[in-house]
Amino acid sequence: MSDRKKQYIEGVRDGVPIGLGYFAVSFSLGIMAKNIGLTPIQAAVMSLLNNASAGEYMGLTMIAAGATYWEMALATLITNARYLLMSCAMSQRMDPAGPFRHRLLMAFDITDELFGITIARPGYLSPWYMYGGMTPAIPGWMIGTALGTLAGSLLPVRVVSAFSVALYGMFIAIFIPPAKKDKVIAVLVVLAFASSWAFARLPGISALSAGTRTIILTVALSAGAALLFPRKEEVTGE
> What does the DSSP assignment read for 52-120?
-HHHHHHHHHHHHTT--HHHHHHHHHHHTTHHHHHHHHHHTTS-TTS-HHHHHHHHTT--HHHHHHHHT
Is 176 contained in some domain?
Answer: no
| 92 and 126 share one domain | yes
| pLDDT value of position 131 | 95
Average pLDDT of every residue of the chain: 83
pLDDT band (50, 70, 90) for residue 113 = confident
| 169 domain-assigned | no
CA distance 8 to 53: 25
Residues 109 and 206 in one domain: no
Length of the chain (residues): 238
Distance CA 189, CA 175 (A): 8
pLDDT the model gives residue 89: 85
Residue 12 located in a structural domain: yes
The answer to whether the beta carbons of residues 70 and 59 sit under 8 Å apart is: no
11-52 pLDDT per residue, tens: 999 999 999 888 888 887 888 888 888 889 999 999 998 888
Last residue of a domain, which of 105, 131, 164? Answer: 164
144 contacts 40 by C-beta, under 8 angstroms: no
Query: Are residue 127 and residue 92 in the same domain, yes or no?
Result: yes
Cα–Cα distance for residue pair 172/153, rounded to 1 Å:
30
Question: Is 30 in the same domain as 122?
Answer: yes
Asked if the structure places residue 175 within a domain, the reply is no
pLDDT for the residue 165: 61
Inform me whether the pLDDT recorded for 238 exceeds 60: no
Instruction: Kindly tell me the burial class for residue 92, based on how many C-beta atoms sit within 10 Å of its own C-beta (0-12, 13-18, 19 or more).
Output: exposed
pTM: 0.69
Q: How far apart are CA 129 and CA 187, in angstroms?
A: 29
Domain that holds residue 120: 3-164
Q: What is the reported pLDDT for 235?
A: 44
User: Is 90 exceeded by the pLDDT of residue 91?
Assistant: no
Q: Is the pLDDT of residue 205 over 90?
A: no
The residue that leads in pLDDT, 210 or 77, is: 77
pLDDT tens digits, one per residue of 174-200: 678 878 888 888 898 899 889 989 988
Structural domain total, the chain = 2
Is 147 part of a structural domain of the chain? yes
Q: 198 and 93 in one domain?
A: no
Question: Residue 68 and residue 226: Cα distance in Å, rounded?
Answer: 41
Q: Would you say residue 150 has pLDDT above 70?
A: yes
Q: CA 53, CA 225: separation in Å to the nearest integer?
A: 29
pLDDT top residue among 70 and 173: 70
The confidence score (pLDDT) of residue 157 equals 64
Q: Please check whether residue 158 is in contact with residue 38, taking contact to mean a CB–CB distance below 8 angstroms.
A: no
pLDDT at 166 over 80: no
